[in-house]
Amino acid sequence: MPADRLTALDSSFLHLEDASSHMHVASVTIFEGPPPSYEELLGHIEARLSLVPRYRQKLRFVPLNQGRPVWVDDPHFNLEYHVRATALPPPGSEEQLKNLASRVFAQQLDRTKPLWEIWLVQGLERGEDSPTDARRFALLAKTHHAVIDGVAGVDITSVLFDTAAEPETPPAAGTRWHPRPEPTSVQLLSEALIERATQPAEILRTARAAFRAPRQLARRGIDSIAAIGALAKTGLAAPSSPLNVDIGPHRRYDWVRTDLNELKEIKDRLGGTVNDVVLTIVTGALRNFLEKRGEEVDELTLRAMVPVSVRREDEYGQAGNRVAAMMAPLPIYEIDAVERLHIIREQLGDLKQSGQAVGAQVLTQLSGMAPPTVMAQASRLQSRQRFFNLVVTNVPGPQIPLYVLGRKLLDLFPMAPLARRQALCIAVMSYNGKMNFGLLGDFDAMPDMRLVAEGIESSLEELRTAAGIRKRRAPKRAAAPRRAPATTRSGANGNRG
């Protein structure tokens, strides 16, 4: 059977990872109701693992670095290693949950095992709008970026969810899983060498795939060379900022809740798209953050790397990454919120017309022809260059209520990883009428990351006021308590950040 080899882009996420940069995506999900038992959750996940076979597979690396790694079944797969249970000490506040998530998300995934974890977190206090006796619990989920990108992650993660508290046809437990024999190192090397020997055919297939999309775009009047040129123009170094410093392995995690319908109303009244509004909110928050740090902002434009899904409709639900990127200028210098929105709307429109994201996709596809050693060096070189100041990723999520074991999902907070010399990443995801911001920061470089969260709220309020929209509900932000240890099962309780 042919090897299930990583794509060039997925391999790059492995090359980018080191002791300080952890290339997993993650989420915090909060549920209404009493938490399930650990055994209930194990059974629930085990019954659905057949829908995500990658979750039972691990990476095998080709000897002598003669090819990209391959996915193989893990003959020692142990579900209890990947599903863990923990509890917050009283009072079980959201601030304590953020601290726990910071520690869990700071731990690198073990490459000798399938690259994912789910943590059941009990002991979470009731929500602000919940009845007095209502309880809540949370799930922390981590999956390596080499496995899945954000948009596909919605589909794969959702296999654990139901669309009703009592689904009509709950999935039955599958037949006993039997892993396929694990290839030996000699087999892996032989397969890779055979592929190398047939490289001309592989190059032709890769080249056809690489230039198929630009040819299609050319028929619509867009030149692929111009698209790559548009990307190259933005590939100049981004400005220096406090967000671009050496980072360590520890993390801080925070979140902000917003209302998706409110953001839609803002864009309807002031112009642009929801994504334009999101980037305007982020720009205002960063201006607030930098001003309070005493930084000069009057002439500053930061650059955000905005991932763009290039996944075709027939590819949804498949593992692997199908993403390109746009480098979006953020006009930190602009003091007026509405003018910031207009500038971002115009600049993003220009970037889309330039085909910049297409250029990124073409270069990614072409990198599939590069030998692994060259690709590894290129990935590390790229990570050392300051092409952008931070990542802002916006992923659309399901707009219907979801359930796990009959418990309703209340909130979903995303997390995207930090690259080298990137001290802040902002991930945004919508769910059931909400649009939640997840902030990940380096523990040492971002001791004041709460200023960014507060800036998101104040920046949204500026747009809300300009659009003439009444404030629906003031978000509650509790003061951070002293860090307390969390009791755990099946794994350590984390580290410093």
CATH number at residue 282: 3.30.559
Considering the domain architecture, whether residues 237 and 312 belong to the same structural domain is answered as: yes
Q: The whole model's pTM is what?
A: 0.80
pLDDT of residue 489: 47
The answer to the question of residue 418 being in a domain is no
The answer to the question of residue 245 being in a domain is yes
The answer to the question of residue 483 being in a domain is no
Considering the domain architecture, whether residues 281 and 383 belong to the same structural domain is answered as: yes
Considering the domain architecture, whether residues 91 and 160 belong to the same structural domain is answered as: yes
Considering the domain architecture, whether residues 152 and 218 belong to the same structural domain is answered as: no
The answer to the question of residue 401 being in a domain is no
pLDDT of residue 433: 96
pLDDT of residue 366: 42
User: How far is residue 364 CA from its own chain's centroid?
Assistant: 19
Considering the domain architecture, whether residues 156 and 220 belong to the same structural domain is answered as: no
- Residue ranges of the chain whose pLDDT lies below 70: 1-3, 65-66, 128-133, 149-158, 170-175, 192-236, 308-324, 350-386, 472-497
pLDDT of residue 254: 98
The answer to the question of residue 484 being in a domain is no
Considering the domain architecture, whether residues 254 and 368 belong to the same structural domain is answered as: yes
The answer to the question of residue 98 being in a domain is yes
The answer to the question of residue 60 being in a domain is yes
CATH number at residue 146: 3.30.559.10
Considering the domain architecture, whether residues 132 and 264 belong to the same structural domain is answered as: no
pLDDT of residue 89: 94
CA angle 200, 355, 270 (to 5 degrees): 155
Considering the domain architecture, whether residues 296 and 388 belong to the same structural domain is answered as: yes
Range of the domain at 350: 212-392+437-473
Considering the domain architecture, whether residues 160 and 222 belong to the same structural domain is answered as: no
Considering the domain architecture, whether residues 45 and 162 belong to the same structural domain is answered as: yes
pLDDT of residue 472: 63
pLDDT of residue 336: 97
pLDDT of residue 438: 97
Number of domains in the chain: 2
Considering the domain architecture, whether residues 147 and 256 belong to the same structural domain is answered as: no
The answer to the question of residue 413 being in a domain is no
pLDDT of residue 64: 73
Considering the domain architecture, whether residues 259 and 111 belong to the same structural domain is answered as: no
Whether 437 contacts 430, CB under 8 Å = no
